[in-house]
Amino acid sequence: MAGQSRSAARPEPSLARQALTVPNLLSILRLALVPVFLWLLLGPEEDGWALAVLMFAGFSDWLDGKLARWLDQMSRLGRLLDPAADRLYIAATLIAFLFRDIVPWWLVVALLTRELCVGVCLLVLRWRGFGPPEVTYVGKAATFNLMYAFPLLLLTQGGSTMAEVARPVAYAFSLWGAVLYFWSGVLYVVQTVRAVSGASRNSVR
């Protein structure tokens, strides 16, 4: 408890200082690779390199959280960068896969609509003076499943033995990820409604 008190009492460093921590540098690198990933998929269609970038994104997503806790470098900037990178990779992958006919259009529209709803919730919360909702385990599980599904979906392209083996696993991860992603979106909306309605009741009093 004393360690927590000392940590809470420390002044928060500037955003520039926060950006120079190891976990945040990983998140920034992950963000910088989003356009590279899109170009690899839609330009030369270098699926092998795109797969490597996507695997790095998934691994670094796990690693930066671990490093932030191990090195005691958790920060406000990190709490913004990490989910932003996840959402950008998911949106970029869905759009690229739509152009490549890897996933159906209705799935892309549905998942991007979910992202739009979450974005509106974040804007409403900020307008009412709240921070972003707490990241739920459902949301983490959804991101985990989708980050595994996307590389596997790339492997399903073609008629090789590897594609045949990867196909059912890729579809399973995609289904689980999509369901959990929708459910985490519903939880974001519920948290937003509760926060706004609670603030409204308090203001009436």
Q: What does pLDDT average to over the chain?
A: 82
User: In whole angstroms, what is the distance from residue 137 CA to residue 135 CA?
Assistant: 7
Residue 188 has, within 13 A of its CA and on its CB side, a CA count of 24
Res 36: pLDDT: 93
Residue that finishes a domain, picked among 79, 100, 121 = 100
Task: Let me know whether 22 and 80 are in one domain.
Answer: yes
Task: Let me know whether 83 and 136 are in one domain.
Answer: no
- Is the confidence at residue 79, as pLDDT, over 90? no
Are 65 and 11 contacting, i.e. CB atoms less than 8 angstroms apart? no
- Is the confidence at residue 200, as pLDDT, over 70? no
- Of the listed ranges 7-11, 26-30, 31-35, 45-49, the least confidently predicted one is 7-11
139-128-200 Cα angle (round to 5): 105
Q: What percent of the chain has pLDDT over 90?
A: 11
For 100-134, b/e burial (b = at least 16 CB within 10 A) is eebbeeeebeebeebbebbeebbeebeeeebebbe
Task: Let me know whether 118 and 178 are in one domain.
Answer: yes
Res 6: pLDDT: 42
Residue that finishes a domain, picked among 58, 80, 100 = 100
Range 1-8 average pLDDT = 43
| Tens-digit pLDDT profile for residues 96-107 | 999 988 888 888
Are 184 and 138 contacting, i.e. CB atoms less than 8 angstroms apart? yes
Find the domain containing 140 and state its range. Answer: 102-197
